[in-house]
Amino acid sequence: MSKKKQKSMEELLEEALVPEEEQPYQVPENWTYFYFTSILDIQGGTQPPKSQFINEPKEGYIRLVQIRDFASDNYLTYIPYTSKLRLIEEEDILIARYGASIGRILTGLSGAYNVALAKVVYPKEHIFRKYLYWLLQTEHFQGPLKMISRSAQAGFNKNDLSNIKLPLPPYNEQKRIAEKIERLFGKIDEAKRLIEEVKGSFELRWESILDKAFRGELTKKWRSKSSIIKSADDIFKEIQNVYKKKNKRDEYEINPPFPIPQNWRWVRLGDIVDINPARKKLEDIEDIQSCSFIPMPSVNDKTGEIENPEIRKYAEVKKGYTFFLENDILFAKITPCMENGKTAIAHNLINGFGFGSTEFHVIRTNPYINTKLIYYLLRSKKFRMEAKKEMTGAVGQQRVPKSFLENYLFPLPPKAEQDKIVELLDHLHVKEVEISKIEALEGEIDSLRQSILNKAFRGELGTNDLTDKHAIELLKEVLKSK
């Protein structure tokens, strides 16, 4: 049988090079484009029986790298070493092949790796590892990978990657690009660290302010200058008359969590506000009339504001949704919306009423309670953490029960002092809005990362040296070595 004819360099180049008219965009004149599988390969892992897995290192065992290791390095699994295992070293690059992590890149680990991962096999003397590591995280690779016509569960194989086009600069330029990316990313990481410090210190200060507010410490000076104030006992009796009910529970059943001012009173929240009140009968509202609708995404968990409320026909929402009135408080009861702080006061509702997600608790106050004070309570981290402990339901669908809100112990100040507390908190809350701007800046920093990567692999970081040998010569060396 005759030997298979060896391809010439011209034929190999023709197969490896991406024609200029098919290149995604222009690159420096001493760069070129290549098809992924012309000089790169992928190698699937092995899948040992789960019965062999242990969680502690042991003589004769080796670490098994799995797809869950992309999320956290705390997942450690060890298996018996055999010569049949597919192994990786710290210099190797892995790609996730399946599920939600498909396309994620991992490096810096050693051991065996399972079938959910693929090792990128590349000519290490011609392709700088860190250049390839960053390149595979850009839209150059990730974009086409997502377009591959295989389900996320089926994963991908070598043939799927054959038409992916990647830029190839000279070797020295690869090193310069990788080094500049890491310098710039180092500055970005430092900026993010500073932002997190600012956010963390503000959150601590704000929670401390709220704590002082609900202990009466924030208005201590004001109280000393305001001698004629109706006590909380008086307004509590008037609230009971508003709701036409008597507090049958003995007040001595309440075990005060901390001391409060003399003219304040410990109450249960359900005794001073209406929680999930009965729907008000709406007169003269026709089915075709427009009304306000607030879905959960419209509540900003950072600012506590309602953004982009929807307008729907009354007929579409009058059944199956949560009803509320102007100035009602909407409190997200489901995880993770509750923990994130999705609580808002309903304002500017069409005709003074609206509908929204069924995952809201509605809290309605009265003339003796400052709505904003209850709003600040519900948005406080302390309240949300206590509510989280009382959630019920299946994992992922847990909710804060109405009973938690009803029985929550609240330090009730006189109405005049409620108003003063809200005035002070409103003034201090302006700074919280500034924090939301910092968080927006954090999002811009993440976008900057991708912008840097995009520019890097277009040759726009100012690192290219036209005196470097053309990348085609490098490509020839790789093809020749293969």
Encoding tokens for residue 198?
Answer: 């600012």
Grouping H, G, I as helix, E, B as strand and the rest as coil, residue 143 is helix
Q: Degrees (nearest 5) of the Cα angle 26, 27, 28? A: 130
Q: Which residues contact 111 (CB under 8 A, 6 or more apart)?
A: 62, 63, 64, 65, 87, 88
- pLDDT band at 255; cut points 50, 70, 90: confident
- Cβ contact 291:317 at 8 Å: yes
- pLDDT band at 249; cut points 50, 70, 90: low
Q: Which helix (H) or strand (E) holds 10?
A: helix 9-16
Cα-based torsion angle of the residue sequence 331, 334, 335, 336 in order, rounded to the nearest 10 degrees = -50
Place of tokens 């090792």: 119
Read off the pLDDT of residues 395-412 as tens digits, 9 standing for 90 and up. 778 999 999 999 999 999
- pLDDT for residue 26 is more than 70: yes
Q: Which helix (H) or strand (E) holds 410?
A: strand 409-412
- pLDDT for residue 90 is more than 70: yes
CA distances from 348 to 150, 168, 283, 307 (A): 48, 57, 19, 12
- pLDDT for residue 151 is more than 60: no
CA distances from 467 to 25, 125, 451 (A): 22, 20, 26
Encoding tokens for residue 467?
Answer: 């005196």
Query: What is the C-alpha end-to-end distance of the chain, expressed in Å?
Result: 24
CATH architecture under which domain 254-411 falls: Alpha-Beta Complex (3.90)
- pLDDT for residue 343 is more than 50: yes
Encoding tokens for residue 174?
Answer: 């690869």
Phi and psi at 94, nearest 5°, equal -115, 150
Read off the pLDDT of residues 291-332 as tens digits, 9 standing for 90 and up. 999 999 999 998 899 999 999 999 999 999 999 999 999 999
Which of 307, 36, 12 has the alpha carbon at shortest distance from 148?
36
Q: Which pLDDT does position 1 carry in this prediction?
A: 47
- pLDDT for residue 100 is more than 80: no
Read off the pLDDT of residues 170-207 as tens digits, 9 standing for 90 and up. 999 999 999 999 999 999 998 888 887 777 777 788 89
The per-residue b/e assignment along 138-148, b for 16 or more CB within 10 angstroms, e otherwise, is bebbbebbeeb
Q: Degrees (nearest 5) of the Cα angle 90, 92, 98? A: 115
Round the average pLDDT of the chain to a whole number and report it. Answer: 89
Q: Which helix (H) or strand (E) holds 105?
A: strand 105-107
- pLDDT band at 246; cut points 50, 70, 90: low
Q: Which residues contact 115 (CB under 8 A, 6 or more apart)?
A: 44, 45, 46, 47, 97
**pLDDT average, residue stretch 239-248:** 72
Task: State the alpha helices, DSSP H only, in 17-170.
Answer: 36-39, 129-135, 139-147
Task: Indicate whether this model's pTM tops 0.85.
Answer: no
- Cβ contact 446:5 at 8 Å: no
Q: Which pLDDT does position 66 carry in this prediction?
A: 86
Compute the radius of gyration of the chain from its Cα atoms. 32
Query: Which of 34 and 72 is assigned the larger pLDDT?
Result: 34
Q: Return the CATH number of the domain spanning residue range 9-175+465-481.
A: 3.90.220.20
Q: Degrees (nearest 5) of the Cα angle 215, 218, 222? A: 115
**What's the rounded Cα separation, in Å, for the pair 379 and 362?**
14
- pLDDT for residue 158 is more than 80: yes
9-175+465-481 and 254-411: identical CATH topology? yes
- Cβ contact 166:135 at 8 Å: yes
- pLDDT for residue 482 is more than 90: no
Q: Which pLDDT does position 6 carry in this prediction?
A: 83
Read off the pLDDT of residues 347-401 as tens digits, 9 standing for 90 and up. 999 999 999 999 999 999 999 999 999 999 999 999 999 999 999 988 778 999 9
Read off the pLDDT of residues 55-89 as tens digits, 9 standing for 90 and up. 888 899 999 988 877 766 567 889 999 988 999 99
Q: Degrees (nearest 5) of the Cα angle 90, 95, 100? A: 130
Percent of the chain with pLDDT over 70: 93
Looking from the CA of 47 toward its CB, the CA atoms found within 13 Å total 6
Q: Degrees (nearest 5) of the Cα angle 124, 129, 134? A: 150
Asked which of 85-89, 271-275, 312-316, 428-432 is least confident by mean pLDDT, the reply is 428-432
- pLDDT for residue 167 is more than 90: yes
Domain ranges of the chain: 9-175+465-481, 176-229+414-464, 254-411
